[in-house]
């Protein structure tokens, strides 16, 4: 299973069990917010995750010195659906962004998505996430579309990463 919590994450990046390296590349599905106009992005967006969503979305940790991977999962990192990660990385978003708000017809909307990213850590200090998939690419999954001018919102049902049925974690 791909379940990672704060304690297991800290243990995995404390030092490589093969070479004692202290720098790792961590792949995780993170939350990203993007302003769009006429269904096209206005900018690259911003990461909106906290430590909990970062750790909860981890699917791979690899030592930068020797390549050893203390974690490499094929399950969806959010719902644990078997083989869900490969499907999530290979498919495009299930949600289509409208060119304008269906309620008030304004053309500016806010999109929240999950996107795979890589973070490099060293001596316990993570760097800024680097996106693996960008808006419109396979792996980038829109989970919410909202109009800032009115109360209209559309939310994806199911898992925000693999779009499988939502399975509550215990």
Per-residue pLDDT band at 122 (split at 50, 70, 90) = confident
Is the pLDDT reported for residue 46 higher than 90?
Answer: yes
Residue 163 confidence (pLDDT): 83
Q: How many CB atoms are located within 10 Å of the residue 107 CB?
A: 15
Interior/surface letters 113-131, b for 16+ CB within 10 angstroms, e for the rest: bbbbbebebeeeeeeebeb
| Count of structural domains, the chain | 1
Is the pLDDT reported for residue 30 higher than 50?
Answer: yes
Is the pLDDT reported for residue 82 higher than 60?
Answer: yes
Query: What domain range includes position 119?
Result: 6-155
Residue 1 confidence (pLDDT): 40
In-domain check, residue 94:
yes
Residue-wise pLDDT tens digits, 48-66: 987 778 898 999 999 999 9
Asked if 77 and 117 touch (Cβ cutoff 8 Å), the reply is: no
In-domain check, residue 163:
no
Mean per-residue pLDDT over the chain, rounded:
90
pTM above 0.85, yes or no: yes
In-domain check, residue 1:
no
Is the pLDDT reported for residue 94 higher than 70?
Answer: yes
In-domain check, residue 169:
no
Residues with Cβ within 8 Å of 160's Cβ and at least 6 positions away in sequence, in order, are: 78, 114, 141, 143
In-domain check, residue 168:
no
Per-residue pLDDT band at 126 (split at 50, 70, 90) = low
In-domain check, residue 162:
no
In-domain check, residue 72:
yes
In-domain check, residue 132:
yes
């Amino acid at each position: 299973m791909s379940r990672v919590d704060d304690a297991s994450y800290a243990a995995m990046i404390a030092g490589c069990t093969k070479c004692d390296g202290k720098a790792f590349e961590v792949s995780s599905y993170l939350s990203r917010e993007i302003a769009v106009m006429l269904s096209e992005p206005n900018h690259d967006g911003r990461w909106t995750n906290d430590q909990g969503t970062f750790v909860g979305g981890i699917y791979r940790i690899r030592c930068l010195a020797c390549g050893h991977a203390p974690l490499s999962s094929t399950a969806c990192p959010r719902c644990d659906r078997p083989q869900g990660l490969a499907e999530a990385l290979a498919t495009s978003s299930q949600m289509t962004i409208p060119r304008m708000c269906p309620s008030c017809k304004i053309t500016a909307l806010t999109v929240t998505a999950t996107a795979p990213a890589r973070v490099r850590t060293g001596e316990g200090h993570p760097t800024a996430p680097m996106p693996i998939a960008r808006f419109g690419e396979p792996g980038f999954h829109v989970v919410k579309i909202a109009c800032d001018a009115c109360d209209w919102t559309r939310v994806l049902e199911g898992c925000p990463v693999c779009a499988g049925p939502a399975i509550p974690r215990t």
